[in-house]
Amino acid sequence: MRFTLIKNLRQDKSMHPILTGLLFFTFFYIISDILVKHLNFGVFPNEVMTTLFGNEDEFIDPLSASSFLEFWHVEIFFMMMILLTLSTVFIRLAKHTTFKAIVLNALMLSALFSLISLLLAFFISQAFVLVYSILFFAWHIIAMYMIFYSLWKLYYDPNI
């Protein structure tokens, strides 16, 4: 996290490839997260419902509580690592404080509430599955925007 201490990133050219690599790997993680979840867990409401609650017609068993909590625990960890690292880069490169605050709050709240809505869907009501799907895509789209904005600022903004 050395880039948080450097006053002018333009003067330290060694940070450009490091930050670029970090942003590209984060982008690939976000894309692969969508694909892996789509194939294994589901990202659309009907897929998530089938995974969580099973389907008697297709002989699919519901997810056990222990398996769900293990999945949820892993999601919390990976989401925390990706979002905090991406937010650090974005905060360092974005200059507009109001804009920065809105994007960061939208990212963090949509990610947090996607996790909470998944928990509520499993234990309280299936109605939260739709909320989970919407918020899942919301935080992924916002994260991709932050990645591309950070790359643009890193290479095309002379004021950093």
- Residue 144 to residue 157: CA distance in whole angstroms: 19
Query: The pTM is what?
Result: 0.89
Are the beta carbons of 156 and 97 closer than 8 angstroms?
no
Q: Crossing angle for the helix pair 128-156 and 15-40, nearest 10 degrees?
A: 160
The separation between the first and the last C-alpha atoms of the chain, rounded to the nearest angstrom, is 16
**Residue 3 pLDDT grade (very low, low, confident, very high; cuts 50, 70, 90):** low
**Residue 113 pLDDT grade (very low, low, confident, very high; cuts 50, 70, 90):** very high
**Average pLDDT rounded to a whole number, residues 85-95:** 89
Tokens 């919301």 correspond to 138
35-38 long-range contacts, Cβ below 8 Å, gap at least 24?
Answer: 37/136
- pLDDT, one tens digit per residue, over 131-142 is 999 999 999 999
- Residue 19 to residue 130: CA distance in whole angstroms: 35
Counting Cβ atoms within 10 Å, is residue 150 exposed (0-12), middle (13-18) or buried (19+)? buried
**Residue 95 pLDDT grade (very low, low, confident, very high; cuts 50, 70, 90):** confident
Mean of per-residue pLDDT scores for the chain? 89
- pLDDT, one tens digit per residue, over 19-61 is 899 999 999 999 999 999 999 999 999 999 998 888 888 888 8
